[in-house]
Amino acid sequence: MYIVSYNPTYVGIPFTEFSTIDENTDLENLNLNWREQDLPERVRTKHVHRLHPYLGKFIPQLVEIFLRKYRPNSVLDPFCGCGTTLVQANELGIKSIGCDISIFNCMISKVKTDKYDLSILQSEILELINKLKFEYPYHSENDFSDYLKTWYSQKSLDDLFHFKETLESFTYNNLYKVILSRAARSARLTTHYDLDFPKKPIRVPYYCRKHSRICYPVKEANKFLIRYCNNTFKRIVEFAEYRTDADVVIINGDSSNVVFPKVDIVITSPPYVGLIDYHEQHRYAYDLLNLPSNDHHEIGSATNGSGQKAQKEYKKAMMKVYDNLKTAVKRSGIIITIINDKYNLFNPDKFGFVEEMRLKRHVNRRTGMRKSNFFEEILIWRNK
């Protein structure tokens, strides 16, 4: 076993020359403890990587390092989430396959990796923005779920539903649904500093820890819809310069039983045990878009906690997925897992793989407000 210890004091310069990576690069000698000055947020969330907020995503530069190192013809991410692996693979001209139990996650991944006619996209976005400038009728409370009525003002719901009702006739309506969801996230009746895990709706002015002043609850959604329409077009245009014609396949399903085609490598960041409810974090999207939920099939849901029972169930579910990966990854193929394995649940021998190395890095650049240090391990295994 090879272990690279983390370096919280940042002795030495973190590695940022990603294009220089090749098959001869010694991964053990790379300093991956990036600070804001080393890898600014605008770089970590470049082009389509920031089309929609997503808790638990890993940075694209990690994926790029391993794709350049191992140079596969095809890559699989069995927990594709918001599509980070798929986007980076496409940039490098590598065929990719992503799978996720969440239909909304699959939607995000698809709109990020789809090819667009930019003239049609620009025309449709301008039309959508113009439609927001006209008055439209109020919607009945009967149109809204209890969740939506709890977390939004009437005006915000009218704005969101008006936008939603205009989408079906447009060419890229899935992309516009993601814009709608992004605006809905911002328009919730919550504080500016608690967008990730809001606990209760806020309907009165409050002291904002983020801005150090009195802030007010959001009363409308149109400003977010307009802002994100423009921002989305900008990001799609940026990605168009890098996008290749490499195939991207996205599957909404359970990675423990999906029959995957043969691939050269797996790169994934699976759910952590007891950390995030992946469906609940986008509850507004499921209610607004009437999407079916598979939350009962989530692995490691925060709702189930992280006790001994939860750990046992998590490990059992993960082993089923990785057992399925054995048939998907070519013989001697590489499986890379980015995880915070603080409970030591990922044992390569028990999972049926050979460990090449285990890297550990300090993660101090994450979205939202965090109180504690965070570390993640990069498990590099080889198929037998």
Task: Please name each of the domains of the chain with its CATH number.
Answer: 3-103+245-383 (3.40.50.150), 118-240 (no CATH)
pLDDT in tens, 155-193: 999 999 999 999 989 999 999 999 999 999 999 999 998
pLDDT of res. 365: 56
Contact predicate 217/203, CB 8 Å: yes
Amino acid letter for position 237: V
Other C-beta atoms closer than 10 Å to the C-beta of 35 total: 12
* Range from 234-243, 301-310, 322-331, 373-382 carrying the lowest mean pLDDT: 373-382
- Separation CA 165–CA 181 (nearest Å): 14
pTM given for the model: 0.93
**Residue 5 pLDDT grade (very low, low, confident, very high; cuts 50, 70, 90):** very low
DSSP-assigned letter for residue 56:
T
pLDDT in tens, 18-74: 999 999 999 999 999 988 888 999 999 999 999 999 998 899 999 999 999 999 999
- Separation CA 200–CA 197 (nearest Å): 9
- Separation CA 130–CA 59 (nearest Å): 35
Place of tokens 């770089």: 43
Compute the C-alpha angle 168/172/51, nearest 5°: 120
pLDDT of res. 236: 99
Name, in order, each residue with C-beta under 8 angstroms of 192's C-beta and a sequence gap of 6 or more: 208, 210, 211, 215
pLDDT at 246 over 80: yes
